[in-house]
Amino acid sequence: MSTPLPLAEQFQYGLDAPICLTWELTYACNLACVHCLSSSGRRDPRELSTAECKAVIDELERMQVFYVNIGGGEPTVRSDFWELVDYATAHHVGVKFSTNGVRITPEVAARLAASDYVDMQISLDGATEAVNDAVRGPGSYQTAMRAMANLAAAGFRGFKLSVVVTRHNAGQLDEFKAIADRFGAQLRLTRLRPSGRGADVWDELHPTAAQQRELYDWLVAHGERVLTGDSFFHLAAYGDALPGLNLCGAGRMVCLIDPVGDVYACPFAIHDSFRAGNVRGEGGFTGVWRTSELFADLRQPQTGGACTSCSAFDACRGGCMAAKFFTGLPLDGPDPECVKGHGAAALAAVDLELVPKPSLDHSRPASRRAGPVPVTIGARPPDRACEESPLAGLRL
Amino acid sequence: MPAQVSIRPERFGALLYHFGTRRLSFLKSPELLKVVQVLADFPTARAACTDAGVSAAELPAYRAALATLAASEMIRERKPS
């Protein structure tokens, strides 16, 4: 049997269609998680209509995209959410969706349990209420627990419990596993990215070097029983690769469609620099995937830059493009969480003024973290000392 | 091949996705894809391989590849009708 190139190298040059893609259906969300990678909160008025979404699904069916990872925002708050899920599965496009659990009632759970083509994940970022709610907001732990209890009671086996690993929950991996086991779910751990609002909290929330090492050992010990969505491939530089392809699929095997139809290289790269086009354009999604210049660039052999001489480069491939971009590191340099420590050194040299900011922000006004409020202080002195009238000095 | 398995031909061979187990597999050569596509038309896997042009020397490699696919439920023994 001939194998001309290892699969990983084949994938570097991209596929004619994504294997799967992430589709954020709405920026609207009932929560305001501090690390939200899409800076969600408010619905965007330009959101794709039901008909436009169905046209995208028709294209995905023709391209034989196996499944879509639907997220948001909180996708279930779209009034046509279940209609779109049914439409996708009827058109042979499998659905996995991420939810905070707010709409997973016993009735919905029963309906989900009956479908072979729908998978879902409940997000939880702390194995205890205190740790979770500090990141995801008050009440979100109870919401997720109630949703999982409903799913378990409805007989939905093997849904996913999805956890973003942070400095505060990295010590709770066994507890997360116990929660997943209790509800007949499978644990999925993913990496905190400095994307969206995550950029604001990454410094204080990303796992320490020691925690990364423990995480890696824990993942190796648990093998394929714990999913990672390939998100920790930068840890492969510790030694053995983790289960999965261990490579960045951005624009090659995966991509993101955002609520207004913009197509980005990956879900963690919502920024003009990684925007390949829009599904509303003439060629639709297929045209963007096959002809965008950005994706063509990403499918060129990538240079390792400063990493090329590192003994671990073949394992980690320089890590995550989005993590580098949003921490101000060069894309051909080390990952900010490089296990060899090269990222920490590179970060120290970054000019914070030049770090790219997310291009979009749908946060609700109050959900940005409290911090200094920029004000313009007028150069004009007060009209009079102790003038109490709020209209003092107002000129109409 | 179970109805829940979807097959997508690629330059290197094919991608397989199982909607039940939600697992992805790869067929690493166009020849293996051909074998998998004709499996159901032959009484034995060996006969399918022969039809697809697999030489005797290559049979063990195909046996191993098919066993891996069977282990992940991408293909299965046909039910007696």
> How many residues are present in chain A?
396
A59-68, A87-96, A366-375: least confidently modelled range: A366-375
Measure A266 CA to nearest chain B CA, in Å: 19
pLDDT at A2: 46
- Could you tell me the residue ranges of all domains in chain A? 13-303
- Distance separating alpha carbons of residues A161 and A266, to the nearest angstrom: 22
Most A CBs within 10 A among B4, B19, B58, B63, hence the mutation to make, goes to B19
Give the DSSP letter of residue A314: H
pLDDT at A192: 97
**Statement: residue A250 has pLDDT above 70:** yes
pLDDT for A151-195, tens place per residue? 999 999 999 999 999 999 999 999 999 999 999 999 999 999 999
A7-16, A18-27, A207-216, B33-42: least confidently modelled range: A7-16
CB B12 to CB A67 under 8 A?
no
State ipTM. 0.88
Among A84, A89, A88, A99, smallest CA distance to A47 is for A84
- Comparing CB atoms, the residue among B19, B26, B62 nearest residue A1 is B62
pLDDT at A301: 82
| Cα–Cα distances in angstroms (integers) from residue A59 to residues A14, A24, A117, A197, A244, in the given order | 18, 17, 18, 31, 27
When the pLDDT of each residue in chain A is averaged and rounded to a whole number, the result is 91
pLDDT at A3: 45
User: Residue B8: its chain A contacts at CB < 8 A?
Assistant: 17, 64, 66
Average pLDDT over residues A387-391: 62
User: Residue A2: its chain B contacts at CB < 8 A?
Assistant: 29, 31
CB A1 to CB B22 under 8 A?
no
Which range scores top for mean pLDDT: A232-236, A243-247, A373-377? A232-236
pLDDT at A385: 59
Half-sphere exposure of A108 (CA within 13 A, CB side): 18
- Sorting pLDDT into bands at 50, 70 and 90, what band is A10? confident
Comparing A92 with A370, which gets the higher pLDDT?
Answer: A92
**Statement: residue A370 has pLDDT above 60:** no
**Statement: residue A7 has pLDDT above 50:** yes
Residue type for position B8: R
Q: Residue A190's beta-bridge partner residues?
A: A164
pLDDT at A382: 53
Question: 3-62 in B: which are within 8 Å (CB) of A?
Answer: 4, 6, 8, 10-12, 15, 17, 19-20, 22, 24, 26, 28-29, 31-32, 58, 61-62
Average pLDDT over residues B42-65: 92
Q: Residue A161's beta-bridge partner residues?
A: A122, A187
pLDDT at A371: 56
- Sorting pLDDT into bands at 50, 70 and 90, what band is A280? very high
**Statement: residue A316 has pLDDT above 50:** yes
pLDDT for B1-27, tens place per residue? 888 899 999 988 999 999 888 888 999
**Statement: residue A57 has pLDDT above 90:** yes
Identify the residue whose tokens are 């939600």: B22
CB B12 to CB A4 under 8 A?
yes
What are φ and ψ of residue B8, in 5° steps? -130, 110
User: Residue A4: its chain B contacts at CB < 8 A?
Assistant: 12
Rounded to the nearest 10°, the torsion over CA A352, A358, A362, A368 is -10
Which range scores top for mean pLDDT: A10-24, A44-58, A241-255, A340-354? A44-58
- Comparing CB atoms, the residue among B4, B12, B15 nearest residue A116 is B4
Handedness of CA B47, B52, B58, B61 (dihedral sign): negative
Ramachandran area for residue A92 (φ above 0: left; ψ -120 to 50: alpha; else beta): left
- Which CATH number is associated with domain A13-303? 3.20.20.70
